[in-house]
């Protein structure tokens, strides 16, 4: 989280707007509050991601299921992934995928900029975030791509359809 917070501080200084950090736990929330510089326009909260994404113009997120939530809400997102050098090296040996973010994999192209390991630094994240906010053509390209990703996933209600299929086999 420190790199995301650093990026948020840089970003907020450039665009002079209030930002919101949605955190998964009380512990991370307390940590973030202690590290936000006084006078910085960054609010923090635990949970409530869907509500936050429903209002967001942009997100910075770690690679994982949250990127699919960002895609679902059609929020252009900057993705980062940092792990130990050993884990990263092992992953690169065994995983042969062009992207880590699931929306990028589903799209077959980089919709969400990805920054891995040493590239996942505050300056890169802030620069990419500013670009996604300011570059209208890039935002349009991403939003169009996210529509295609959503279409690939199919309509909602998969759990209900699965339950109905199970019930039909039991009859």
> What does the pLDDT read at residue 13?
86
> What does the pLDDT read at residue 124?
97
- Bridge partners (DSSP) listed for residue 20: 43
Q: Which of 115, 91, 117, 106 is nearest to 154 (CA)?
A: 106
Is 0.75 topped by the overall pTM?
Answer: yes
Phi and psi angles of residue 108, each rounded to the nearest 5 degrees, phi first: 75, 15
> What does the pLDDT read at residue 1?
59
Q: Note the CATH number of domain 2-170.
A: 3.40.50.2000
What are 142-152's pLDDT values in tens digits? 999 999 998 88
């Amino acid at each position: 989280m420190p790199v995301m917070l650093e990026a948020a501080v840089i970003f907020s200084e450039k665009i002079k707007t209030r930002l919101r950090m949605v955190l998964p736990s009380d512990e991370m929330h307390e940590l973030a509050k202690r590290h936000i510089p006084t006078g910085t326009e960054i609010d923090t909260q635990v949970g409530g991601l869907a509500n936050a994404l429903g209002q967001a113009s942009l997100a910075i997120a770690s690679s994982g299921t949250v990127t699919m939530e960002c895609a679902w809400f059609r929020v252009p997102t900057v993705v980062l992934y940092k792990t130990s050098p050993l884990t990263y090296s092992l992953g690169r040996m065994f995983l042969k995928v062009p992207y880590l973010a699931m929306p990028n994999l589903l799209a077959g192209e980089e919709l969400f900029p990805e920054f891995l390991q040493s590239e996942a630094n505050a300056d890169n994240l802030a620069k990419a975030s500013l670009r996604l906010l300011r570059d209208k053509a890039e935002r349009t390209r991403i939003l169009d791509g996210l529509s295609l990703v959503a279409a690939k996933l199919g309509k909602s209600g998969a759990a209900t359809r699965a339950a109905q299929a199970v019930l039909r086999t039991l009859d």
